[in-house]
Structure 1
Amino acid sequence: MIGVFDSGLGGLTVLRELAARFPQISFTYLGDHAHVPYGNRSSEEVVDLTRQGVETLFRLGARLVILGCNTATAVAARQLQQNWLPKSQWGGHNILGIVAPTVEAATQTPWAVTAPQYPQKYNTDIIAVFGTTRTISSNVYREEIRKRCPKVVVVQQICANLAGAIEHEAPEAELDALVQEGVAGLLSQTHDTPPHRAILGCTHFPLVEHLFARHLPPFTRILSQPQIVADSLEDYLHRRPHFVADSSSIANQSHVRLMTTGNAREASSLAQVFWPDAPSFESALEYTRS
């Protein structure tokens, strides 16, 4: 079984793609709705809450956990991977984020390559990053892209109200206006030169990818994280099949299980925005402990 952790519901867009791509693998999703949003929390809080979520998924049987949240990945992934996990009781387990595969797709460079390589060191493309305030302010995409492609122009645009509007099922016209505002803000930074690639750096944004496509030129390649993460996981499991070697032998476990630290009924209702056929959420309280 593979775990997917998110501070709320956006990671369901990633989970939905994973469940479709890997029907032979069971997935358990944990949304930390008791503490959402993470964007106004300190880095220390985000790291601690993400660690607790990962541990809960490990206790539920996952040996591999994907952080389906840009904020959790940007703030906590490296600390948990490098500092916490090697010293923890969870030997043989691993944590993956969604920033690394997105940067790989944007730069066409493996994550392990952190120095400019030919031909990418001569790449002068414009790469746009649309995201929430916390993700953009972390600068993780700009820093990681420019490690691999130092001449690329990375232009970041905060879409502060878009995720909330998506989650609250705002009318299409309102969503379109917010996307148009974000694209206009980005183009003002590039003096109206359109980007070659655009990263949708929030897992809510795939639900309005068609609106970004409406306001960006046809040649801009939109990088949407659910498909990118699924492609990356396929490659990862091909090289490390032991993480799901026993997934087909787990009895009486549904293919997709949704857990929440908050109100299960409320989470189930809101989940329909992201995945109309999603199973109902269950409470994770009996499995969580600090």
Structure 2
Amino acid sequence: MIGVFDSGHGGLTVLRALVDAAPDRPFVYLGDHAAAPYGSRGEDDIYRLTIRGMEHLFAQGCGLVVIACNTAAAVALRRLQQTWLPGAYPGRNVLGVLVPMVEAITRVPWMIDTVPPDHLAEPRTVGVFATQATVNSGSFPREIGKRAPSVRVVQQACPDLVPLIERGAPDGDLAPVVAGYVAALLAQLNGQPLDAVVLGCTHYPLVARLFERALPPGVEVLCQPTLTARSLDQYLERHPEYRPAPGEGGVRFFTTGSAPLVSELAGRFFGHPTPFERLSP
């Protein structure tokens, strides 16, 4: 089985893309709704919560987990891969949604930490909309800068978006908030052109249309679910030991919060009913 972890509902946008790409694969989703949101938490707290989520998913029989939470991936992924996973769970692995986005922007594989001498990335400016913790981590500018130094990265934290999206706020409430964050990012550019933006939170694809409406014409909007599904396929081709047996498709949904409440709200993110089961925190 393949696990998918998020602090709340947002990872369901990634899960939907994974299921659509390979409906015969079995998935287990865990939303840490009791501790959400992660974006305003400190790094050590995020790391601890992420480790706890991995332990729950490994206990469910997952050999591979995708961290479908940009905050957790940005803050905790490299640390847990290097210092926790090898000793605690050898033979299992954890991936994150930040990796496919960095690869798509730089066109350089994640495992290459420095730009190859013959790689000439096109100079351009990329904006990143993300949670405060993801912005504070510096993961996007750091990892993009290693692989494509000619790409300028400008970040904008969006602290109010996840709570609004989680509670199902209407477009009338969301649109001015999104427009305000877009205006703040553009103000950092001092009139310089913007080529593309990263929606660096898995909640944000649900309001991608509002970002597109607020951004200048011609700015490319990069969302993570499709890129993550493509990246997982490529990873499983390289690592068949993590590939589930065919014909075992299906999804189980777990939450550390209220299962009835989460089930009621989460279907909007996944596009189908999501019968969550309660997992003790």
Question: How far is 1:219 from its partner?
Answer: 2.6
Corresponding residue for 2:253?
A: 258
Structure 2 SS opposite 1:117: coil
Corresponding residue for 2:148?
A: 149
Question: How far is 1:121 from its partner?
Answer: 4.5
Deviation string 1:20-60 (CA, Å, 9 cap, x unpaired) is 11101011001111211222333222112111111111110
Q: Where in structure 2 are the equivalents of 1:1-290 lying within 5 Å? A: 1-88=1-88, 90-117=89-116, 120-121=119-120, 123-246=122-245, 248=247, 255-285=250-280
Deviation string 1:153-185 (CA, Å, 9 cap, x unpaired) is 111111221222122222212222122111111
Question: How far is 1:119 from its partner?
Answer: 5.9
Structure 1 SS opposite 2:178: helix
- Separation of aligned partners in 1, 2:124 and 2:198: 13
Answer yes or no: is the 8 Å Cα contact 1:10–1:69 preserved in 2. Answer: yes
- Separation of aligned partners in 2, 1:217 and 1:20: 31
- Separation of aligned partners in 1, 2:208 and 2:118: 29
Answer yes or no: is the 8 Å Cα contact 2:37–2:162 preserved in 1. Answer: no
Structure 1 SS opposite 2:269: coil
Give me the TM-score of the superposition, normalised by structure 2.
0.94
Alignment CA distance shift 1:92-1:247 (3 Å): farther
Alignment CA distance shift 1:258-1:234 (3 Å): same
- Separation of aligned partners in 1, 2:11 and 2:205: 11
Answer yes or no: is the 8 Å Cα contact 2:130–2:158 preserved in 1. Answer: yes
- Separation of aligned partners in 2, 1:246 and 1:56: 22
- Separation of aligned partners in 2, 1:74 and 1:170: 26
Answer yes or no: is the 8 Å Cα contact 1:121–1:148 preserved in 2. Answer: no
Q: Report which stretch shifted further, 131-140 or 214-223.
A: 214-223
Question: How far is 1:247 from its partner?
Answer: 5.3
Structure 1 SS opposite 2:133: helix
- Separation of aligned partners in 2, 1:111 and 1:129: 18
Aligned residues: percent identity?
A: 45
Number of residue pairs matched by the alignment = 281
Question: How far is 1:186 from its partner?
Answer: 1.0
Give me the TM-score of the superposition, normalised by structure 1.
0.92
- Separation of aligned partners in 2, 1:122 and 1:62: 37
Which consecutive unaligned segments of at least 5 residues does structure 2 have? none
Deviation string 1:203-239 (CA, Å, 9 cap, x unpaired) is 1100111121222234322110101111100111111
Alignment CA distance shift 1:131-1:120 (3 Å): farther
Cα-Cα RMSD: 1.7
Question: How far is 1:71 from its partner?
Answer: 0.9
Question: How far is 1:113 from its partner?
Answer: 1.7
Question: How far is 1:7 from its partner?
Answer: 1.1
